[in-house]
Amino acid sequence: MATLLLSVTAVKAQNNHVETTISADFVNQYIWRGLDLGNVSLQPTLGVSYKGLSLSAWGNIGISNPADTKEFDLTIGYTIGGLNIGLTDYWFSTGGDPEARYFKYNAHCTNHIFEANVGYDFGVVNLQWYTNFAGDDKRTQKGKRAYSSYFELNVPFKLGTFDWQATVGCVPYATAFYETTGFAVTNLSLKAMKDIIVTEKFSIPVFAGLAANPNSKKAYLILGITLQP
C-alpha cells in the first residue's frame, strides 16, 4: 500500500528568539505508530517555541473519504539538552461522545485523550515513551483504565547522500487502543530523506520509506515531499 505525502511548510519567523511555524501536509494515507488511521488527508500545523518551550496545534481531516476520523491535537513540550517532556490533548471525531463535540471533557463521555511523554536524544539513538493518562483511553477486562502506552526507538544515520532513520515501536502490554493483546511490536519503519536544491533559497525535501506493523501483519510504502519557502 503506497503513501504519498505532500507537505507545505511556511513561515518560520524568529522575533526575540520566538519561532513560529506554519505547515500543511497532504498524505494519501495516515499511518501513526503502525496504525492505519485514514486515506488521503490534509494535516495543518501551527506552532510557537521559545527557549526550549513549545506549543503546537496539529490537525487531520480526510480528503478522499470524508468519513475518515477528524483529529485536532494540542501539545505543550519542553526540551533541555537531550531530554524532552510533553503533554498532548488528542481529539477525535469518533470515540466516547457520539456527537463529537470538542468542548466536552466529561470523564465518562469525551472524545479527548490525554497523553504524557518523556524521551531522550543520545545523538546516535532517540528513545521516547508515551502513556495515555486521562480521557477516552480504553479499559482493561476488569474495567480499569488501560493507561495505553507506546515505546519508540529511533536511529538516525547517513548512507550515501541521504539521511536515514530506522524506527522500532512497541506496545508493552495489552490495550485495545493499539489493538494488542500483550507485548507487541507495532511499528517497524525505515525512511530515507534528501533535499533537492532548486535555487539558492529554495529546496524540496523528499523522503521515501517502508513501514510495517508485525502485530496487525500489515505493511506500507511511503513516499513524500516537503515544500518550504
Segment 146-173, tens digit of pLDDT: 999 999 999 999 999 999 999 999 999 9
Burial class of 158 by CB neighbour count within 10 A (0 to 12, 13 to 18, 19+): exposed
Render pLDDT for 65-121 as a digit per residue (tens, 0 to 9). Answer: 888 889 999 999 999 999 999 999 999 998 777 778 898 888 778 899 999 999 999
The pTM for the full model equals 0.88
Task: Please give the Cα distance from 189 to 226 (Å, whole number).
Answer: 19
**How much is the pLDDT for 6?**
42
**How much is the pLDDT for 198?**
85
Of the candidates 126, 115, 117, the one whose C-alpha atom is nearest the C-alpha of residue 167 is 126
Residue 184 pLDDT greater than 60, yes or no: yes
- Domain containing 74 equals 2-227
**Domain total in the chain:** 1
Residue 209 pLDDT greater than 60, yes or no: yes
